[in-house]
Amino acid sequence: MSGEQRELFETAPAPWEVDDAVEQLVATVVFPTGPAQPFDYAVPERLRDMLRVGMRVRVPLGRGDRVAQGYCVRLEPRQSSRRLKEISKLVDRRHLLTPAMLRLTEWMAEHYLCPWGQVLEAVVPAGVRMDAGTRGTQFLSVNRDALQQIDRSKLPAKQAIVIEHLAAATSPLTAQQLASACRCTLAPINALRKKGLIAARTERVRTHQAEEAAVERDSGHELNLDQQQALDTILAALRGRRYETLLLHGVTGSGKTEVYIRAIEEVVSYGRQAIVLVPEISLTPQTRQRFRARFDHVAVLHSHLTDSERHRHWERIATGEVQVVVGARSAIFAPTPHLGLIVVDEEHESSFKQDSAPRYHARDVAIERARAEAVPLVLGSATPSLESWQRGRQGVYRLLELPRRVLDRPLPAVGTIDLREERAEKGSRGAIGRRMYVAMQHALEAGGQVILFLNRRGFATHIQCPSCGEVVNCPHCEIALTHHRHGEMALCHYCDFQMPAPLNCPQCGASGIRYSGSGTQRLEAEVHQRFPNYPLIRMDTDAMQRPGSHEAALARFRSGEVRILLGTQMIAKGLDFPNVTLVGVINADTSLHLPDFRASERTFQLLAQVAGRTGRGEQGGRVLIQTVSPEHPAIQAAIDHDCDKFAAYELPMREALCYPPFGSMIRLIVRGVQEPVVAAFTGQVVDELRRLLAESKARVLGPAPAPFAKLRGKYRYHILLQDSDDTALRTAVRQVLEDLRAPDDVEWVTDVDPLSML
């Protein structure tokens, strides 16, 4: 919670006592901004019949009875001797959230330590809250009682025609429509309204209806044995009408999506709906088309929708018209009336975690929602997160395996290129080494396409020896130390260990230790210069700013016009191009040595996903990884496409240090413009947490500067809390949030189950 929000806190005056207890209908209201705690209000008689839980209301708040808007989360008759303030007005005509969704948001508020009102505001899209894309329109009707009182034959001719027409109309008419149907002006209509013979009521109608172009239908494939087995297990769970999480571990190209679709067909046959979560970037035309080719009513929720489109989808979903909702993170809040199944594809993807409050993980919210609505949840991945993997092994999730690609296609051969050797050779100065160059040449000359992958977003300031590949790590945290120009220090961003930046490699003694990396833009220039005859396209967040540019770029690559595609993780997943015969990873080390305990896991997942982009067609394909650490277990496991091998290497280290999945974590970030103030306040928070957690086994790490030590003019410090489970941590953090007040201009962020350590 930020300091700014605390400023807004206000204590309402204590309600005064009245002599006799009276039975009254009490509404509990929570606010998106302002007070974090709920307030009770009396429901006046005139609103009783209309108010529902899940609607927004206007109420007087605080001493000055300022008008505030909040969500009604509970309604109950209560014997009370307290006189409560009254709700002044309803904002919505229908509830925005069902009771089930309200419970889910309450759980989120509790779990993610975020005010409930703030969660609600995040869950209901802005377009829905604003009623976007609708307009108040007046519809006319005949006031039959008034009409009987008068002599109709005395009406002027025009007015008589209008009345007759309106009385006979089978659908509601606006004044304009009525006037043109009767070939008159608005004057007779207005005259009739004045006489009270025509009544008008206002309704909100859509200003336009966007329809998606029809998609050619497709009946899908006959499932292979592995797919059929996985499907049968999911169907059994569906028929059992109970909650269960199934982890579908299938290598890239094993036909996971086909299994989801079959399961959803069953769900649809029950008249229920399914939600499919995909990482935003996989919302390629391919994914979208595949679902639309198999179901009549699909809502695709992606980040480029306008408010009004989002509102329209929301309504179609709420009426039950939509059978399948496909979308990124926030689609987990789709208001499906009869949910039947949730699928989270690529469940290991970090984009499922929201990086602003409420900092929820859509997969974990999906688990809660599936549990609450008693439906099965399928988590799919070629490289499951270690959290899910561990639960699969322990039997908490049911593990389903698709170990082979469809149609007996082989997994691509993955090889490494040792950058230490390349760099020792003369004449290879750029990002593309000699061996990579030769492989590209061959692939292109044979008519194939090439994908080059560079994780530009890597934190490039780790300290690495160019001759032995040694990366300088923190002795306490097994995390790469970060080079700080200021004072030439090497710092641990977890525990604040520091030492002077070494001039020679601590491992082999070589001089010339390096601190920097290169990005996709530099790579683009290099490829352009070395392969001037092959059209290329760069895809990263800088190059793909405009809506649709991503799809357009992929379409050009699919058509074969573009021969080389280079980019960041944006190109790593979900793409399926049969003609790609070479995937080159420019530098596997950028992600391997981030100051984050998940660095190895991310690298393994990324390499396995990138490798999955090739070998999908007849010609097969191969993958080449440039690295200075070819023997690193994460890279070795990716070469073998072997999740077991990676988990066997990584899990014992996680366990020894109590990192997830063996323990829970909460991260607190404190930020502000004045570093000494930020540092001092963080220190105060740490002291308080240590005091509160003294009796427990919890670890409190910090205060330390965050790896991104200064962002947008603000200094950032962080604190990490670890424990075997999160109960004690949560209690302590809640206590600190109540007890301590951040200095002016200092905000703090609470991140439960953090995914980013930067």
Q: Which residues bind ligand ADP (CB under 6 A)?
A: 221-224, 227, 250, 252-258, 406-407, 576
Residue 224 binds which of Zn ion, ligand ADP, none (CB < 5-8 A, kind-dependent): ligand ADP
Closer CB to ligand ADP, residue 254 or residue 600? 254
Question: Are 426 and 633 a contacting pair, CB within 8 Å?
Answer: no
How far apart are the C-alpha atoms of 304 and 207, rounded to whole Å?
Answer: 19
Residue 537 binds which of ligand ADP, Zn ion, none (CB < 5-8 A, kind-dependent): none
Residue 213 binds which of ligand ADP, Zn ion, none (CB < 5-8 A, kind-dependent): none
Residue 379 binds Zn ion, judged by CB under 5 A: no
**# chain residues binding Zn ion, by CB under 5 A:** 7
Q: Taking contact as CB under 5 A, which single stretch among the options 177-185, 421-429, 496-504, 732-740 is the one that binds Zn ion?
A: 496-504
Q: Give the pair of three-digit tokens for residue 61.
A: 């708040």
Q: Taking contact as CB under 5 A, which single stretch among the options 104-112, 467-475, 623-631, 713-721 is the one that binds Zn ion?
A: 467-475
Closer CB to ligand ADP, residue 575 or residue 686? 575
Question: Are 61 and 100 a contacting pair, CB within 8 Å?
Answer: no
Residue 406 binds which of Zn ion, ligand ADP, none (CB < 5-8 A, kind-dependent): ligand ADP
Residue 595 binds which of Zn ion, ligand ADP, none (CB < 5-8 A, kind-dependent): none
Residue 421 binds which of ligand ADP, Zn ion, none (CB < 5-8 A, kind-dependent): none
The three-state DSSP-derived secondary structure of 217-261 is CCCCCCCCHHHHHHHHHHHHHHHCCCCEEEEEEECCCCCHHHHHH
Closer CB to ligand ADP, residue 473 or residue 609? 609
Contacting Zn ion (CB under 5 A), which of 139, 437, 497, 708?
497
Closer CB to Zn ion, residue 470 or residue 540? 470
How far apart are the C-alpha atoms of 705 and 715, rounded to whole Å?
Answer: 8
How far apart are the C-alpha atoms of 74 and 28, rounded to whole Å?
Answer: 5
CA dihedral 81, 87, 88, 90 (to 10 degrees): -160
Residue 497 binds which of Zn ion, ligand ADP, none (CB < 5-8 A, kind-dependent): Zn ion
How far apart are the C-alpha atoms of 289 and 462, rounded to whole Å?
Answer: 42
Q: Give how far Cα 608 sits from Cα of 339, 477, 614, 618, Å.
A: 33, 26, 11, 20
Closer CB to Zn ion, residue 205 or residue 656? 656
Least separation in angstroms between residue 745's CB and ligand ADP is 48
Contacting Zn ion (CB under 5 A), which of 477, 513, 543, 611?
477
Q: Which residues of 5-31 are buried (b: 16+ CB within 10 A; e: fewer)?
A: beeeeeeeeeeeeeeeeeebbbbbbbb
The DSSP letter of residue 475 is T
Question: Are 704 and 725 a contacting pair, CB within 8 Å?
Answer: no
Q: Give the pair of three-digit tokens for residue 120.
A: 């609600």
Residue 492 binds which of ligand ADP, Zn ion, none (CB < 5-8 A, kind-dependent): Zn ion
Least separation in angstroms between residue 218's CB and ligand ADP is 9
Contacting Zn ion (CB under 5 A), which of 377, 378, 492, 572?
492
How far apart are the C-alpha atoms of 491 and 707, rounded to whole Å?
Answer: 9
Least separation in angstroms between residue 479's CB and Zn ion is 6
Question: Are 588 and 431 a contacting pair, CB within 8 Å?
Answer: no
Contacting Zn ion (CB under 5 A), which of 179, 274, 277, 495?
495
Residue 252 binds which of ligand ADP, Zn ion, none (CB < 5-8 A, kind-dependent): ligand ADP
Closer CB to ligand ADP, residue 372 or residue 406? 406
Least separation in angstroms between residue 576's CB and ligand ADP is 6
Residue 157 binds which of ligand ADP, Zn ion, none (CB < 5-8 A, kind-dependent): none
Q: Which residues of 117-139 are buried (b: 16+ CB within 10 A; e: fewer)?
A: bbbbbbbbbebbbebbbbeebeb
φ, ψ of residue 37 to 5 degrees: the values are -95, 155
Least separation in angstroms between residue 409's CB and ligand ADP is 8
Q: Which residues contact 84 (CB under 8 A, 6 or more apart)?
A: 15, 24, 26, 40, 41, 42
Q: Give the pair of three-digit tokens for residue 724.
A: 């075997």
User: Footprint of Zn ion on this chain (CB under 5 A)?
Assistant: 474, 476-477, 492, 494-495, 497
